[in-house]
Structure 1
Amino acid sequence: MCVWGEAWSRGPTINYTINESVQAQLASLADHAAALAKDNPPKERALIAALQKRYHQGGGKGPGDTAYAQAMDAVYDAYPSDDEVAVLTADAWMIPAAQENGRDHLDRSVQILEQVLQRSPDNSAAIHFYIHATEMDGVAAEALPYAGKLSALAPAASHLIHMPSHTYFWVGQYRDAENANLKAVKIDGENVARLKPKDGVFGLPYHGHNVQYGEAATLIDGDAKEGLALAAPQLQQLAAPNASSFLHQFEFVTAYFVFGRFASPQMMASLPQPDKALPYALAMWHYARGEADARNGDARGAQREAKNLAIGHDDLAKFGDSAEQVQTMVDIARLVLEGRVAMIEKRWSDAEADYRKAADIQDTKLGSFTDPPTWWYPVRRSVAAALLAKGNPMAAKVEVDEALSHWPRDPQSLRILADCQQALGHSEEARQQNALARSNWLGDTAALPMAQL
């Protein structure tokens, strides 16, 4: 079973696939485990037989993964009270769904995990996967009764301390999402002194993810101080040997969003330009500079950065399967900056058109990327801001309601909704929305100019 354990643990996850070479190694391990286990108990032999199916055209998004999940489901049916078998089965169904950005069989994962939690409500593994499964299935709120338990169940495990933020973010508890990641980052800092990883704290698995998710939450709740404290050391990793990978550039992008949103002019002026070997990061460096210019009312500067926001075909090709996502992000960034410029220049119809194009792209192409959200805010709220400035509060309310349906309790969307309600003569509703916005935002919700919403 130790051999089986190695073969299982080196396999694909909801975050990573494995290539054919690794599959071949793990298939050999699984076959070796089967040979060693010919006299083992039936449950153990069934677990090994299921794993043997996983590494034949599997690896995370192949028929072998479905065959493994089906085999594990049969094992679970034979041993329905075994929590470990149940969690492994739920995970087996989640992996192909995650890798294919779909929802097939997620209902089965949720069902199995709920059965475990009914009898073992403090099972940290079940809670971990239940948070993922409900988030992936679009019902994140269902994990809320369990998410808060992880900090007490695993107080020294930074990844599990981070995990509740996957639930908190999608129910509109952005401050709680931020705080969960700040705690996880603190634990990482304590662990680095003990573990001494080669690449420092960013050499710890998932530290960059904890930082990025914390940054994403600060962008929504307005915590400039903590957002910049997270983003600054992350951008110091631009010179790291593996910085050019898509995953690392994806993490850098969120840090650039933070700088564009919160950094002072002095901080922006000292923000170094990424090397051309980091084309995605370079594009978002231009976006950050453009956001900062727009924040300061500099339409010319924002327009200049928008014109520089591009990525070449050859550079794009290097991202392989992620190339479409990179191009999508660059397109949204450019359109958002053009919308900012139009808002500053009071060209409301042009701003609406630019923002609407960006929002439509975000909704159609990035809707399934939520770990954290690839684009940092709902652009639909910018469409609403432009319509409100144009004098059409009814149409603006339609747009901001749509934004809030996906980003509940986003304070800046609530601010726009309050303005819409006030313009429509609904003073009490406006008062309520403003109060809720203020409770979710650090600082004055009215301080940001309309061009930055």
Structure 2
Amino acid sequence: MKLLPAAALWVVLGGLLSPACRQATSQAPSQAEINAIGLKQGSITMCGPASGQQLGTATFGTSCSAAVQPDFNLALTLLHSFEYDEAEKVFARVIAREPSCAMAYWGVAMCSYHPLWTPPSPAELTKGAKAIELAQRLPGKTPRETAYIQVLQAFYQDWEHVEHKVRALRLEQAMARVHAQYPQDPEATIFYALALDAAADPTDKTFVKQKKAGALLQALYPGEPNHPGILHYLIHTYDYPELARLALPATRKYASVAPSSAHALHMPSHIFTRLGLWDECITSNLAATESARCYAASTGLPGHWDEELHGLDYLMYAYLQQGKTELARAQWQYLATIREVTPVNFKVAYAYAAIPARYVLENRLWQEAARLPLRPGSLDWQQYPWQAGIIHFTRALGQAHLGHPDSARREVEALRGLHHALLGQKDAYKATQVQIQLLGAEAWTLLAAGEAAAAEQRMRQAADLEDRTEKHPVTPSEVLPARELLADMLLQLQRPQEALAAYEANLRTHPNRRNGLRGAATAAAQSGAPEKAARYGQQLRKVTLPLTTGRADKGAWLALP
């Protein structure tokens, strides 16, 4: 007897169970209870190079009626590409047609979680908790559906009193039980892999959870090559220098499977950036930012969509690594015209701070760095201490390189205050990011004051701390890698052999960085290693444009042999 595939089997079981679900209609939530969730509603808007909705293929059999199953599957594909607003609209459409469909409320609660982004806001947590409460209450669910709903109940329970990290670990453990209970259910495996990624410790350099998630997803891939979740989460799973090459097959396929998603168009650039593949990174983000602009216009968003600014930061970074200074500066100039963004969140604040900071620091424009403004003024920067720290870090480096240690110290003290604020908020990851900036700013301030030994000590502390901490997915790279800054300092202190070792260590985790390659070539030449100097010089020429007199990047800050 020929067995049905797991996904098809669930659809059949859902069809058999749907009468029970329909019998429970009388016990469906009241309209007032549904309204209290605050569901996003409206027509579905997707933008991309392809016509229609091309989002990949995913199915999730439910006990709800067959009439709403296509919409449920559509919402699922949107959810897997982190198109949360559009996914919620489709889940809301299912609820409007069939208020007793418990898994539609599960879907709404999933849309409020955002496992690999910043923790949900109180408003999102309130919405998710209300939705999952209704899902729990509804009768007629299958044991499998009940298990999925209990996973989210573990996350939303006591959210007012239990910190996000603890609840993310609870969700991972609950999803592990569902995966063990339903080993033939591909969605259980996929969501378990996502839960592992979300709960991974950013300081764990053995990547235990990521490797486990990757093995689960890779085992599923041959049977579901067009599943957006498998492709998407493989990219996130391997978004680390040590693992990035493992993601290349998924990276090069995801955008073609789900071209209607701006996030799917952007996500491959995470791996392209990790591997220094700048042409592909640029192509990816040109498509993603164009799709994001289309989405904002099509949905009538006030101003620009936050996904556009996220893509602009990656685009700026890639242009800088190729030495395409005019194109890089154009991103900054364009950003300055953006006055309104929806929603305003951590991604928006990061892009507003990082894009100008990258430009002036990568190009060693110390005068501009020293007076870089915190813009836009309309943004409540007190809500974003890490992002505000980028500007103070930039100013401190600018002042220090101009020989103004007193002015640099004021920026250092501002960073110290931001670090203290994040410690008070118990945001360990962001506090560590600001601590790295603080140590680096202190280091160059001390060097400007003539205290070379203390400066080197601080810079080594910053580099070691950054080596132990992974970057956040919001950023293509640290604004300036700390170990590269250490190498710059050692070169300035006329210790080229040590500088070369530091440049090479940094290039292993940040391949094809323009300033890293130039610094390595210079340090090798000064160390009496002409073959290495020539190799790094040749590599630099492959990834950058030739330097010309009068270039805005002032690229000759280190002499290329």
Inter-CA distance 104–23: structure 2 relative to 1 (3 Å threshold): farther
Aligned residue for 1:166?
A: 270
Aligned partners of 2:342 and 2:415: how far apart in 1?
Answer: 22
TM-score using structure 2 length: 0.66
Q: Please, which of 296, 319, 335 is the counterpart of residue 218 of structure 1?
A: 319
Inter-CA distance 24–369: structure 2 relative to 1 (3 Å threshold): same
SS in 1 for 2:115: coil
Residue 132 of structure 1: CA displacement?
Answer: 0.7
SS in 1 for 2:508: helix
Aligned residue for 2:546?
A: 443
Deviations 1:107-129 (A, max 9, x none): 32112111122322332221111
Aligned partners of 2:167 and 2:373: how far apart in 1?
Answer: 46
Inter-CA distance 99–32: structure 2 relative to 1 (3 Å threshold): farther
Aligned residue for 1:18?
A: 120
Deviations 1:53-88 (A, max 9, x none): 332256883544334323323333344343323211
1:230 aligns with 2:305: no
Which 10-residue stretch deviates more, 176-185 or 29-38?
29-38
Aligned residues: 436
Aligned partners of 1:361 and 1:182: how far apart in 2?
Answer: 33
1:48 aligns with 2:152: no
Q: Note the residue ranges of structure 1 that are not aligned, 5 or more in a row.
A: none
Aligned partners of 2:392 and 2:547: how far apart in 1?
Answer: 27
Which 10-residue stretch deviates more, 66-75 or 161-170?
66-75
Aligned residue for 1:326?
A: 434
Residue 305 of structure 1: CA displacement?
Answer: 5.0
1:5 aligns with 2:113: no
Aligned residue for 1:255?
A: 355
Inter-CA distance 311–188: structure 2 relative to 1 (3 Å threshold): same
1:75 aligns with 2:178: yes
Asked if 2 retains the 8 angstrom alpha-carbon contact of 1:30 and 1:52, the reply is yes
Aligned partners of 1:260 and 1:428: how far apart in 2?
Answer: 31
Paired amino acid for 2:246: E
Aligned partners of 2:546 and 2:525: how far apart in 1?
Answer: 21
Aligned partners of 1:242 and 1:128: how far apart in 2?
Answer: 23
Which 10-residue stretch deviates more, 3-12 or 358-367?
358-367
Q: Please, which of 164, 170, 189 is the counterpart of residue 86 of structure 1?
A: 189
1:61 aligns with 2:161: no
Residue 94 of structure 1: CA displacement?
Answer: 1.8
Paired amino acid for 1:158: A
Aligned partners of 1:354 and 1:265: how far apart in 2?
Answer: 19
Inter-CA distance 22–426: structure 2 relative to 1 (3 Å threshold): closer
Structure with greater Cα Rg: 2
Task: Output aligned runs, 1:168-317, within 5 Å.
Answer: 168-198=272-302, 200-201=303-304, 204-236=305-337, 247-261=347-361, 262=363, 274=375, 278=381, 284-285=390-391, 288=394, 299-300=402-403, 303=405, 306-309=408-411, 310-311=413-414
Aligned partners of 1:314 and 1:181: how far apart in 2?
Answer: 35
Asked if 2 retains the 8 angstrom alpha-carbon contact of 1:144 and 1:167, the reply is yes
Task: Output aligned runs, 1:91-110, within 5 Å.
Answer: 91-97=194-200, 103=207, 105-110=209-214
Asked if 2 retains the 8 angstrom alpha-carbon contact of 1:359 and 1:378, the reply is no
Paired amino acid for 1:43: R
Aligned residue for 2:91?
A: none
Asked if 2 retains the 8 angstrom alpha-carbon contact of 1:232 and 1:255, the reply is no
Aligned partners of 1:392 and 1:24: how far apart in 2?
Answer: 56
Deviations 1:6-61 (A, max 9, x none): 122222412132367755653453343234243x4443333223333332256883
Aligned partners of 1:168 and 1:419: how far apart in 2?
Answer: 26
TM-score using structure 1 length: 0.79
Task: Output aligned runs, 1:111-190, within 5 Å.
Answer: 111-135=215-239, 138-190=242-294
Residue 397 of structure 1: CA displacement?
Answer: 2.4
Task: Output aligned runs, 1:332-347, within 5 Å.
Answer: 332-333=440-441, 335-336=443-444
Residue 167 of structure 1: CA displacement?
Answer: 0.9
Asked if 2 retains the 8 angstrom alpha-carbon contact of 1:61 and 1:99, the reply is no
Asked if 2 retains the 8 angstrom alpha-carbon contact of 1:286 and 1:305, the reply is no
Task: Output aligned runs, 1:379-418, within 5 Å.
Answer: 379-388=482-491, 390-418=493-521
Q: Please, which of 372, 375, 390 is the counterpart of residue 478 of structure 2?
A: 375
Paired amino acid for 1:405: R
Aligned partners of 2:201 and 2:156: how far apart in 1?
Answer: 18
Which 10-residue stretch deviates more, 114-123 or 284-293?
284-293
Paired amino acid for 2:109: A
Seq. identity, %:
21
Asked if 1 retains the 8 angstrom alpha-carbon contact of 2:436 and 2:466, the reply is yes
Asked if 1 retains the 8 angstrom alpha-carbon contact of 2:285 and 2:312, the reply is yes
Inter-CA distance 231–112: structure 2 relative to 1 (3 Å threshold): same
Residue 325 of structure 1: CA displacement?
Answer: 3.4
Which 10-residue stretch deviates more, 327-336 or 2-11?
327-336
Q: Please, which of 462, 471, 475 is the counterpart of residue 361 of structure 1?
A: 462
Asked if 2 retains the 8 angstrom alpha-carbon contact of 1:256 and 1:284, the reply is no
Asked if 1 retains the 8 angstrom alpha-carbon contact of 2:265 and 2:288, the reply is yes
SS in 2 for 1:375: coil
Aligned residue for 2:536?
A: 433
Residue 159 of structure 1: CA displacement?
Answer: 1.0
Q: Note the residue ranges of structure 2 that are not aligned, 5 or more in a row.
A: 1-102, 549-553
Residue 142 of structure 1: CA displacement?
Answer: 0.7
Aligned partners of 2:502 and 2:367: how far apart in 1?
Answer: 35
Residue 435 of structure 1: CA displacement?
Answer: 1.0
Paired amino acid for 2:351: E
Aligned partners of 2:555 and 2:122: how far apart in 1?
Answer: 54
